[in-house]
Amino acid sequence: MPVLTSRREGAGTLRLGRAIAGTAAVAVMLGVVGLGGVILAGPALIGATATEVLRGTGFTGATVTVTGLRIADGWQGLRLEISGDSGPLEAAAKALDLPMSGRLVLFGALVVGTDGGAVTVTPDGCLPAKADGLTVSGQRLDLPQGATLCAARKGELLRWTPGSMTVAAELQAPRLDMPTSSLRAEQVVLRLGQDGTGRRADATVVRLTNTAKPAPVVPLAVTMQAVQAGEAPWTIDGTAKGANGLLTVTLNGTYDQTAGTGRLEAVAKPIRLAENGPGLAAISPLGATFLEKASGTLSGKATLSLTPKGLTTAGQAVVKGLAGAAGPVTVAGVSGTVALSSLSPPVIPDGQKLSIGLLDVGIPLTDGTLLFGYGRDGRLDVDRAEWRWAGGTLHADPFELSPDKPKGTVTLHADGIDAAKLLELIAVDGLEASGKLAGTLPVVLAGDTVTLNGGVLESAGPGTLRYDPAQPPSGLKGEEGSPTAMLMGALTDFHYETLRITIDGQAGGELSAGFSLRGANPSFYDGYPVALNLKLSGALDRILRQNLDVYRIPDTVRERMTGSDQKDH
């Protein structure tokens, strides 16, 4: 990185230049009195002078102590062993145009020399640094393994003349924790430089991890650059990559150091999840708790906004053709754009809209629309949910539930259901119906199970129900004149006046349907009116075999069906 030079020591100096202003003070004194004079002055006077200059820059509680003093190897200058304490940073916050608190300590050895009228400061190795209670713009910053301050590319850390100061520094930290934002950065390197009124900062983070459990995103490798012209805000750009190249994010933003405000936008390139791939777990462990075996295309952006009051986050997620399983519920063809008012914790404001091609909660719902939100309490709040089903529509009462542990009842209201299409879902050979139905379907969610409990659909008018399979199940085969045979004859062309269907069952398990009919078969005993109650249950190959019941059939018809009217002949 090129060494950049400042024209003014005041506002034109990098903030890091201010932080090592004590070192600059030593350099100034060397330029005035020369090396010999400094040696005669002694470490105490050097430390006191550096302390005074550092406090003059705004660090009113700072101290600089010189613990060792000798001629550097090769007569390149004077080697100073120093210890610098920033004092409470709250006192320097105004001078640095940066809201901060805490304390910084820097120690190590510096070589101070002269070069053509300029005073140079070069570290002998790197200077270890420690932070205590450090916060910047409301964000707590912890350095559990400390940090080091080095000269960029092992050159000069600082060059000073009466008209300018140059800083070319590199700050290294094995680990930086930001607990307020649930972030941890590992192997952090920050390079700083300045040229006249132009400034530049380059940062790399080998591994940036969200420490929330589960994390909203997998660890990322981050590279960023920031440039400032004059006193204008900094402009920022960079990239973040993770998930073995599956996730690529571009970074753009600004930072106004005077106002203490900034904004960073991260835009993710479209991510295509393969149908048989690792799913959302590859990019978002948190997302994988909501949707397993995910496939489809995802993209989105995240926004970080910095104010003197702290850091806020927001985002936007775009899904196309998303499919997967949310516990016992299967979804497919999910598309839409969802806004997030917070990323950590994730918060989705009410009124977000998704279109859903398929939602299988024990019955297949298609062409759905969902208006929802997601709160800080981890609960999904659904204001509106509508689907197409069996030729009609279903809409749900507003409901709330926890996506990772769904529990409760969602009541679906059915309208305009086509009886013919409903029976197509049951797919029983020879079973047909006509007419329109309406009613309610309570869906009970309990952990890993979804159950239809007490669903009722009733006819809006007359229609037909026919059961005439080519090969009736063995349980429905009976001798001519038997109750079973007579009932099968009645159902071959039953014209109902009222039809009531009850539906119960578990997603992925057995379905039980009850039919209550009132009407007649024109060909069955001259169209004599009867009422039938049928229980259809079991796996599909056992439909119509269990709990067959016939009731309210007139005695004369019942006798003919059972043959009891002929027993005296």
Give the per-residue SS3 of 73-105: HHHCCEEEEEEEECCCHHHCHHHHCCCEEEEEE
Query: Stretch 464-479: mean pLDDT, rounded?
Result: 75
Nearest to 511 by CA among 539, 545, 544: 539
Q: Is the pLDDT of residue 476 over 70?
A: no
> What pLDDT, on the 0 to 100 scale, is given for residue 158?
83
Of the listed ranges 16-25, 97-106, 215-224, 361-370, the one predicted with least confidence: 16-25
pLDDT tens digits for range 419-444: 998 877 766 778 889 999 999 989 88
Per-residue pLDDT for 2 more than 80?
no
Which pLDDT score is estimated for 545? 31
Provide the CA 542 distance to its chain's centre, in angstroms: 45
d(CA 382, CA 303): 25
pLDDT of residue 508: 61
Q: Higher pLDDT residue, 380 or 257?
A: 380
Tell me: cis bond preceding 123? Omega within 30 of 0 counts: no
Of 402-411, 430-439, 508-517, minimum mean pLDDT range: 508-517
Q: 35: helix, coil or strand?
A: helix
pLDDT at position 325 over 50: yes
Distance, in Å, from the CA atom of 113 to the CA atom of 432, rounded to the nearest integer, reads 99
**pLDDT cut 70: percent of the chain above it:** 82
Work out the pLDDT band at 526, boundaries 50, 70, 90.
confident
Compute the average pLDDT of residues 151-172: 83
pLDDT tens, residue by residue, 174-212: 999 999 888 999 999 999 887 767 788 999 999 999 998
Contact 273, 295 (CB under 8 A): yes
Per-residue pLDDT for 548 more than 60?
no
**Residue 19 above 50 pLDDT?**
no
Residues facing residue 368 across a β-bridge: 356
For residues 10-28, average pLDDT:
43
φ, ψ of residue 29 in degrees (nearest 5)? -65, -40
| Mean pLDDT score of the chain | 81
* Global pTM exceeds 0.75: no
- pLDDT for the residue numbered 534: 76
Structure tokens at 360: 């299988």
Residue 477, φ and ψ in degrees, nearest 5? -90, 130
Is pLDDT above 80 for 26?
no
Q: Strands 127-136 and 118-123: what pairing?
A: unpaired
Torsion of CA 255, 228, 86, 94, to 10 degrees: -60
Return d(Cα 123, Cα 506) in angstroms, integer: 72
Q: Where are the domains of the chain?
A: 1-165, 416-566
Q: Which two tokens stand for residue 567?
A: 């027993």
Determine contact, residues 471/431, Cβ cutoff 8 Å.
Answer: no
